[in-house]
Amino acid sequence: MILLISPSAKVRECATALEQAMTEPVEVASTFRQASTQLRAREFSVVLVDQSLVESEPDESELAGQHMGSAIPVYINFAISNLDRVVRELRSALHRRKREILVARHTAEEALRSELKGTVTALLLSCEMALQAADRQAAEGKIRKACELAKEVRVKLGATAEGN
């Protein structure tokens, strides 16, 4: 969902055109106070802001910005931008956000993989050694070590002791 913040008289027409072009619902706020209320009530993917409003109400702009959450702010000068340019800017912002999310996900996966690699290797070695142990006591020691390592992995993954 997109939030369009502009005091322009043509804001409704713009919102309708954006809904058709972006195939996403567009809500309208004519002031930052209205926008702040809407931002607290719902999650938006993009907040499209009229730059003239930011310049005329900088304090209110800052307050609304604090409520944007994960929404992408896109600032447009509606006085000089036609609808095609607005759509291009929105698509570009959404594309950048998708790339950022993919990079963040990849980075998090790599960090987790790196953190767990040594523990999982030790766990596998302990299990293999327990399977190859000649006597029961040696096998039991290896199984205990494997259990400790499995608990360590569980803690690193943030699971609780109740069996998650």
* 119: pLDDT strictly greater than 50: yes
Q: What would the two tokens of residue 82 be? A: 């036609």
How do the residues of the chain divide into helix, strand and coil, expressed in percent and rounded to 5? Answer: 65, 10, 25
Q: Edge to edge, what strands does the sheet with 2-5 contain? A: 26-29, 2-5, 46-50, 72-76
- How far apart CA 144 and CA 146 sit, in angstroms, is 5
Q: Are 68 and 89 in contact (CB under 8 A)?
A: no
Write out pLDDT tens, residues 47-68. Answer: 999 998 888 888 888 888 888 8
Q: How sure is the predictor about 159, in pLDDT bands with cuts at 50, 70 and 90?
A: low
Q: Are 29 and 35 in contact (CB under 8 A)?
A: yes
* 76: pLDDT strictly greater than 80: yes
The predicted model scores a pTM of 0.66
- CA 88 to the chain's CA centroid: 22
Q: Using alpha carbons, select from 69, 35, 26 the residue that is nearest to residue 53.
A: 35
Please calculate the CA angle 132-138-143 and round it to the nearest 5 degrees: 80
Q: Are 39 and 53 in contact (CB under 8 A)?
A: no
Q: What is the pLDDT of residue 38?
A: 93
Q: Are 18 and 4 in contact (CB under 8 A)?
A: yes
- CA 34 to the chain's CA centroid: 24
* 112: pLDDT strictly greater than 50: yes
Q: Which fold has domain 2-81?
A: Rossmann fold (3.40.50)
Q: How far is CA 3 from CA 59, 104, 159, in A?
A: 19, 25, 37
